[in-house]
Chain A
Amino acid sequence: MSARLIGFKAWTAAVVLALAFFATPGTAWSGSAEFDAGWQAYQKGDFVAAMEIWRPLAEQGNAAAQFNLGVMYDDGRGVEFDRDEAMEWWRRAADQGEPRALHNLALGYLSGVGTDKDPGKALEYLKMAADKGSVRSQYSLGKMYSTGISVEKDEATAFKWIRMAADGGFDKAQYNIGKMYRDGRGVAADHGLAAVWFLAAAEQGYAKAQNHIGVRLAKGDGIGQDEVQALMWLTLAEVQGHAGAKANRKALLDRLPPDKISEADRLARAWQPKPTSK
């Protein structure tokens, strides 16, 4: 008993000592409990309280608090809408390398909301966020190169960025890579690989990809024909309100026997999406 008590005391002393060393005022450690309190308030919809907690942290230089303050000004939560102020807080967080702030800042420069339009800066910030591993930024950048509106069109570069986001698990990027393999844009056409990527996005619950893989499975295009699986995917896409899937599903229903239909129905009911990366 006393040994355990001494053990406990020693442990407490060690913790106190560790705190004295590492939790000096203003460090990330002491800020994070407060930051969490702000998050709790935000989740409850008490935006005024969240703002009161996060503002001092943001002013002290906490990048996550700066980013969230920007979002609150942008959404008009806990404060009046103020797009200039939103951009200012994102700029401060972006200066510290916060990728989400870089991404939102890029959008501001692209649309000219809260700042002057500057596609060059938008591209620069998006690249910085993409290099830091933000899959959304990698995808957005790839699409910019693919459409050639704000930057010179370059399908090979588009493929590189969208593929990076797809490898990172971003469903929209996986779906787009599927289309690029299907059409031979930025890469040699390959219907097998197109099906692999459509399936990856479908498994995360992306309705458009579920429709595409459903059609491919029904025809055996780039993937072995499997009408039960095809019907399952088309059903899942239709449930999400995909108009094309509704028509495709109906066409398939008309030619399938009842046992295959009920099997597809059972699979669709039991289906669960894979965790997504957004």
Chain B
Amino acid sequence: MRPFNKLFATVVLVIAAPLFAAPAGAATEKVQTSPEEAAAFIDALSLEALDALRADGATLAEREAKVRVILRKSFDFQLIGRFVLGKAWRKASPEQREEYQSLFEEFVLLTYSRRLSGYTDETIKVVKAGPMGKQDAVVLTEISRPTGKPIKAGWRIREKDGAHLILDVIVEGVSMLTTQRSEFQSTVRSKGLDGLLELLRMQVSKFSAQPS
């Protein structure tokens, strides 16, 4: 039990700050996301993802494309992207915002689909779920792989217009959101938002393995 308590404590600590304050003027009603429904969402999502990863005869590129589709509909990229950019978002021009959001989404989808698509023998088990802050739920899972220790991952979920969306993934106590935020903000400090856009543009254009 202990490691999970520790993970949970870390998750709560990371989330304690009001990360996702609604933008000014947004009249969305805050409703607490049900932890049970969030757990069911993660359960269904992991089945769908594992199904895509294990598809017989599919090429790696096809599996990556399937994973990308699943991830695209499951993450709230608009909210995550804005949070990760921090203060620079407010100063950005509409053109910069549009370019940043599409590059950020592409960057996350590419990174995670590449990371995930190599694994076909994993299982995900929901361990527990609980409320988080005023709106969200966190679902704690254990990902088992054929070799090595299982990985503990927490998923921060928010229900929005009847659909569930992932806001953050916390792997072994490390939040994807806060890690990405500190990386992006340090780049913005040294090279400005256009410097960050340039790096993201290059990142998403990186060539992967080739058949010849």
Where the two chains meet, the residues of A that have a C-beta atom closer than 8 Å to any C-beta of B are 32, 35-36, 39, 42-45, 47, 64, 67-68, 71-72, 74-75, 77, 100, 103-104, 106-107, 110-111, 136, 139-140, 143-144, 147-150, 208, 241, 243-244
Contact yes or no, B117 A45, CB < 8 A? yes
Q: B198 to A143, Cβ gap below 8 A? A: yes
Determine how close the nearest CB of chain A comes to the CB of B121; give it in whole angstroms. 9
Residue in contact with A71 in the complex, picked from B118, B207, B212, CB distance below 8 Å: B207
The proximity string for B residues 112-127 relative to A, scoring 1 for CB distances below 8 Å and 0 otherwise, is 0011011110000000
B59 touches A43 (CB 8 A): yes
Residue numbers of B with Cβ under 8 A of A are 59-61, 63, 72-73, 78, 98, 102, 114-115, 117-120, 191-192, 194-195, 197-199, 201-203, 205-212
Known: A39-B211, A103-B207, A241-B73. A111 touches B118 (CB 8 A): no
Contact A42 B210 (CB under 8 A): no
B210/A149 in contact, CB under 8 A: no
When the two chains form the complex, which single residue of B194, B206, B209 contacts A147, counting CB atoms closer than 8 Å? B194
A235 to B207, CA, bound (A): 30
Q: Known contacts A42-B60, A107-B206, A143-B201; can you find 16 more A-B pairs with CB under 8 A?
A: A45-B118, A45-B119, A47-B118, A64-B210, A67-B210, A71-B209, A74-B206, A75-B114, A104-B207, A107-B202, A107-B205, A111-B202, A111-B203, A149-B192, A149-B198, A150-B198
- For the complex formed, measure the closest distance between the CB of B168 and the CB atoms of chain A, giving whole angstroms: 19
Q: A71 contacts B208, CB within 8 Å?
A: yes
- List A contacts of B195 (CB < 8 A): 149
- Shortest Cβ distance from A122 into B: residue: B202
From residue A49, how far is it (CB to closest CB) to chain B in Å?
A: 13
Contacts of A111 in B (CB 8 A): 199, 202-203
CA of A33 to CA of B127, assembled, Å? 47
B-chain residues with CB within 8 Å of residue A43 when the two chains form the complex: 59-61
Does the CB pair B202–A140 fall under 8 Å?
A: yes
Shortest C-beta distance, B166 to chain A (Å), equals 15
Q: A45-B117, A241-B72 are in contact. Are A110 and B207 (CB under 8 A)?
A: no
Determine how close the nearest CB of chain A comes to the CB of B105; give it in whole angstroms.
8
Chain B neighbourhood of A139, CB < 8 A: 205
- Could you say which residues of chain B place their CB within 8 Å of the CB of A241? 72-73
- Kindly provide the distance from the CB of A6 to the nearest chain B CB, expressed in whole angstroms: 37
The answer to whether B120 touches A45, judged by C-beta atoms less than 8 angstroms apart, is yes
* Whole-angstrom CA separation of A67 from B212 in the bound complex: 10
Bound CA span A104–B192, Å = 23
A64 touches B114 (CB 8 A): no
Closest CB in chain A relative to B133 CB, distance in Å: 24
The answer to whether B59 touches A140 (Cβ under 8 A) is no
- A110-B199 contact, Cβ under 8 Å, with A43-B60, A45-B118: yes
Complex Cα gap A70–B212 (Å)? 14
- Cα A100 to Cα B212 in complex, Å, equals 11
B207 touches A140 (CB 8 A): no
Q: Which residue of B lies closest to A137 (CB)?
A: B205
A residues less than 8 Å from B120 (CB atoms): 45
Chain B: minimal CB distance from A174 (Å): 15
A46 and B194 alpha carbons, distance in the complex (Å)? 39
A144 to B205, CA, bound (A): 13
Task: Write out the residue numbers on chain A whose beta carbons fall within 8 Å of the beta carbon of B211.
Answer: 36, 39
CA gap between A64 and B78 in the complex, in Å: 38
Q: Is the CB of A147 within 8 A of B197?
A: yes
Contact B198 A77 (CB under 8 A): no
Q: Which of B60, B72, B198, B208 contacts A45 (CB 8 A)?
A: B60
Is A149's CB under 8 angstroms from B194's CB? yes
Kindly provide the distance from the CB of B174 to the nearest chain A CB, expressed in whole angstroms.
15
Minimum C-beta distance from A209 to chain B (A)? 11
B203 — which chain A residues lie within 8 A by C-beta?
107, 111
CA distance A103 to B203 in the complex (A): 11
Residue of B nearest to A170 (CB): B205
Asked if A103 contacts B198 (CB within 8 A), the reply is: no
Whole-angstrom distance between the Cβ of A147 and the nearest chain B Cβ: 5
For residue A44, give the distance in angstroms from its CB to the closest CB of chain B: 8
**Could you show 14 A-B contacts with beta carbons less than 8 Å apart?**
A42-B209, A43-B59, A45-B117, A64-B210, A72-B209, A77-B118, A100-B207, A103-B207, A107-B202, A136-B205, A140-B205, A149-B192, A149-B198, A244-B98
Residues of chain A contacted by B63 (CB below 8 angstroms): 45
Q: How far is the CB of A179 from chain B (nearest CB, A)?
A: 9
Q: What is the CA–CA distance of A45 and B120 in the complex, to the nearest angstrom?
A: 8
